[in-house]
Amino acid sequence: MAANRKLTPLLSDRTIQSVSQEENQIQIAFTDSSTLRIKTGLPAPEIGFSGRRIQKVRQTQALMNLDFEDGSTAGIQMAEAMSSVMLRDGQGVLEYAD
């Protein structure tokens, strides 16, 4: 699975504060007050995201993997390969959309 070259530099070194899920969307809040929203095809994996620091983001089609500094990985099935991800900074300014 190839690295997402646009999203990896934006998320690398951000620490997850919390994760919430509503129907077909996951919202990840980071300690710097930024947020990542992902439209999903399946529920988020049942692992503890909180406190983990992202090292790399990998993506193939509609599957996104978040690789953490501790060596673990969380796989997220997105609703579609495109138009499923939105990252906003702490002031709500759009940083990334795909």
44 — pLDDT class (breaks 50, 70, 90): low
1 domain residue, yes or no? no
- C-alpha triplet 58, 84, 42: angle, nearest 5°: 80
So what's the pLDDT on residue 48?
73
93 domain residue, yes or no? yes
Contact, 47 vs 83, CB < 8 A? Answer: no
Question: 64 — phi, psi (to 5°)?
Answer: -115, 130
Q: How far apart are CA 35 and CA 47, in angstroms?
A: 19
So what's the pLDDT on residue 82?
81
3-state secondary structure of 83: coil
86 domain residue, yes or no? yes
Assess whether pLDDT exceeds 90 at residue 49: no
Domain hosting residue 80, numbered range: 7-97
Count of domains observed in the chain: 1
Percent of the chain with pLDDT over 70: 95
Q: How far apart are CA 88 and CA 3, in angstroms?
A: 20
Q: How far apart are CA 2 and CA 4, in angstroms?
A: 6
So what's the pLDDT on residue 39?
93
Span 74-93, mean pLDDT? Answer: 91
25 domain residue, yes or no? yes
Assess whether pLDDT exceeds 80 at residue 19: yes
2 domain residue, yes or no? no
Assess whether pLDDT exceeds 90 at residue 24: no
93 — pLDDT class (breaks 50, 70, 90): very high
87: tokens are: 């990252």
55: tokens are: 């090292």
**Model-level pTM?**
0.89
